[in-house]
Structure 1
Amino acid sequence: MSLATTFKLAFASLAIATVFGATPCSTFAAPSNQAESTSNAKVAQEFQVGSLYVEKYSNPNAKGAPVILIPGLASGAYVWDETVKQLRDNHELYVVTLAGFNGKPSIAGPKLPKLKASLLELIQTQKIDKPVLVGHSLGSASSIWFALEHSNLIRGVFAVDGLPVFPGTQNLGADQRKAMAEGARAQMASLDAASFGAQQTQYMRVTGVIDEKLALSLGVRAATSDPIATADYMAELLLLDMRPDLHKITVPVAVVSPFNAPDFARANMNEEGKNAYYKSLVNGIPQLSMISITNARHFVMLDQPQVFNQKLQEFLKKL
């Protein structure tokens, strides 16, 4: 099997699962207590900036760089609970949830431009001294997009399984990309609450995390997001291809590539092959480092929290 065919099989399947979701389950149920936060850290302040709902963790003795943590599609600040526990003693933290996700009200109009503008407003109004952006999935791609224009305002980007172009779409023409985005938007926006919840849970079981119980918990939480807002964010993400402008980023960027061998067995792809593919999509970034974490799916910080947080802290210490 050729390398090109391997990439096509592996990433086409992941892209389809992410955009359209896996086949909805016929039933959907999970204990209500699975949706409760596991974080014991206390929030110093909560406020809204544009389309961002912010949880601020302050420590007057913190000596590390401030950090802004941005979750992915249909997720909330809770995905960073373990990371918050690891960082809050040494870093001022701003953990955000995007409008329309995790039960937060949605906003009208384009979502990603508003997200980028809200990040800028957050940094400026809170007078955050060159934070590090840590983003997952949609949050990762948005962090890279922000760095294209505002590298002077940040110290670096820790990009967790989110890229400047959606994997599997890198060779699409403009018309094809637009058709795919609109198809994804229409299909997801048409789901009723039960179908959307079932889709999110099945996605978590197939692509999100390895542990079944954790997948069910994440599915419950993702189901509280607005299907229409989720569809809008997804469609706008599919339209992005930032590769021509990556040379404009002047801060260090680390790209985290999770790898779970059974998921790639059918395509005969190994860890090195997947990491190389991801690198090919971010090669224009001048100060780039690649981090591969095994035995992890898309929510790598939940599948492998110890390894993930170690890699993140190593990145922060180098800045």
Structure 2
Amino acid sequence: MKKLLFIVSAVFIIQLSFGQSPIQVEKSGKGNPIIFLPGFTTPGSVWEETIENLNGTFETHVVSYAGFNGMESIGTPWYAPIKQKLIDYIKEEKLTNLTLIGHSMGGNLATDLAAHFDNELSGLIIIESLPCMRELMMPGVPASSLQYDSPYNNQMLNMPEDAFKNVALSMARNMTNVEEKIDVLASWSLAADRKTYVYGYTDLLKLDLRPQLNNIATETLILGATFPSREMAQQTFEKQYANLKNKTIELADDSKHFIMFDQPEWLYAKINDYIAKNVQ
């Protein structure tokens, strides 16, 4: 029944600028608003099953990003225009009692938006996202050293399709335990605009949202996976979110990055419990 209601509800695509928009939003349903923010290369449709399993009735706003999911590229910078367009969208739609749910890069955007709109928020759920990915992947490397024009980026831009497919498949295997989802994840990378894929990732590596965490008072649920180990994951999340005042960190066993694929029922339960306590 929930799936049927989701399909037949009034759904429309909102283009948010006269030219190519940094984002596309699919709006559906009635009730308190929830913005769903997917990760890098990921289409907004990744949230469909999560939305179908929500307890209660909500107005959902599902976001997709330029350069991915069939959308045209907006060039560089890439992350900053997406963030600004989301700020404009929330203001234009006059969204109140708002909940933000973001996975991976979507969690970065949710953090950025929460720091901007903290007084207007009812809820904030961050899934498998770190405020400074660079510190984990490239410890001690300053953001200023990362440039669009770099040997690594040029190699990625000029990589033949077959070689890029192998890279995408290798990355996908580290993101889910569900075998049939590996090709799906890889296909999202292969369908992406290559420059957006390469330069957008540079934008993400430059991000450090840890100072902004002090500006967020909203009770925040942080959901993570135990890959590669529970101890390492717990330590990483606690260290990265040390400046966030009101938070609960929960980890899904036997899961990699895409918890919605590896432990969907666990994810639905955590989201619904949080919403019941903090939003409704």
- Give the secondary structure class of the aligned counterpart of 1:289: strand
Distance (Å, rounded) in 1 between the aligned partners of 2:27 and 2:51: 10
Q: How many residue pairs were aligned?
A: 268
Which segments of 5 or more consecutive residues in structure 1 lack a partner in the other structure? Answer: 1-38, 265-269
TM-score by length of 2: 0.87
Q: Deviations over 1:208-264 (max 9, x none)?
A: 11111111122223321112101122101111112223211121222111114xxx3
Structure 1 residues 171 and 220 mapped into 2: Cα distance closer, same or farther (>3 Å)? closer
- Give the secondary structure class of the aligned counterpart of 2:72: coil
Distance (Å, rounded) in 1 between the aligned partners of 2:142 and 2:148: 10
Residue 219 of structure 1 pairs with residue 186 of structure 2? yes
Distance (Å, rounded) in 1 between the aligned partners of 2:233 and 2:148: 23
Distance (Å, rounded) in 1 between the aligned partners of 2:118 and 2:164: 37
Distance (Å, rounded) in 1 between the aligned partners of 2:206 and 2:149: 6
2:126–2:220 contact (8 Å) kept in structure 1 = yes
2:67–2:73 contact (8 Å) kept in structure 1 = yes
Distance (Å, rounded) in 2 between the aligned partners of 1:184 and 1:243: 26
2:67–2:196 contact (8 Å) kept in structure 1 = yes
Deviates more, 1:165-174 or 1:233-242: 165-174
Q: Deviations over 1:275-312 (max 9, x none)?
A: 12211111101111101011111111111111001101
Which structure has more RCO (C-alpha within 8 Å, separation ≥ 6)? Answer: 1
- Give the secondary structure class of the aligned counterpart of 2:35: strand
Which residue is 2:157 aligned to?
A: 189
Structure 1 runs (4+) deviating above 4 angstroms are 179-184
1:258–1:295 contact (8 Å) kept in structure 2 = yes
Distance (Å, rounded) in 2 between the aligned partners of 1:121 and 1:278: 30
Matched letter for residue 77 of structure 2: P
Structure 1 residues 304 and 193 mapped into 2: Cα distance closer, same or farther (>3 Å)? same
Distance (Å, rounded) in 1 between the aligned partners of 2:168 and 2:223: 23
- Give the secondary structure class of the aligned counterpart of 1:168: helix
Residue 152 of structure 1 pairs with residue 123 of structure 2? no
Distance (Å, rounded) in 1 between the aligned partners of 2:138 and 2:214: 18
How much does 1:157 deviate?
Answer: 1.9
Question: Counterparts in 2 of 1:1-319, with a 5 A limit?
Answer: 41-42=6-7, 44-49=11-16, 50-59=21-30, 62=31, 65-87=32-54, 90-166=57-133, 168-169=136-137, 171-174=139-142, 177-178=145-146, 182=150, 185-205=153-173, 207-260=174-227, 264=228, 270-319=229-278
Deviates more, 1:150-159 or 1:65-74: 150-159
2:143–2:205 contact (8 Å) kept in structure 1 = no
Distance (Å, rounded) in 2 between the aligned partners of 1:245 and 1:124: 20
Structure 1 residues 103 and 193 mapped into 2: Cα distance closer, same or farther (>3 Å)? farther
Matched letter for residue 316 of structure 1: I
Distance (Å, rounded) in 2 between the aligned partners of 1:88 and 1:183: 48
Distance (Å, rounded) in 2 between the aligned partners of 1:187 and 1:138: 23
Structure 1 residues 209 and 177 mapped into 2: Cα distance closer, same or farther (>3 Å)? farther
Deviates more, 1:236-245 or 1:303-312: 236-245
How much does 1:173 deviate?
Answer: 4.0
Matched letter for residue 97 of structure 1: S
How much does 1:154 deviate?
Answer: 2.4
Distance (Å, rounded) in 2 between the aligned partners of 1:255 and 1:215: 24
Which segments of 5 or more consecutive residues in structure 2 lack a partner in the other structure? Answer: none
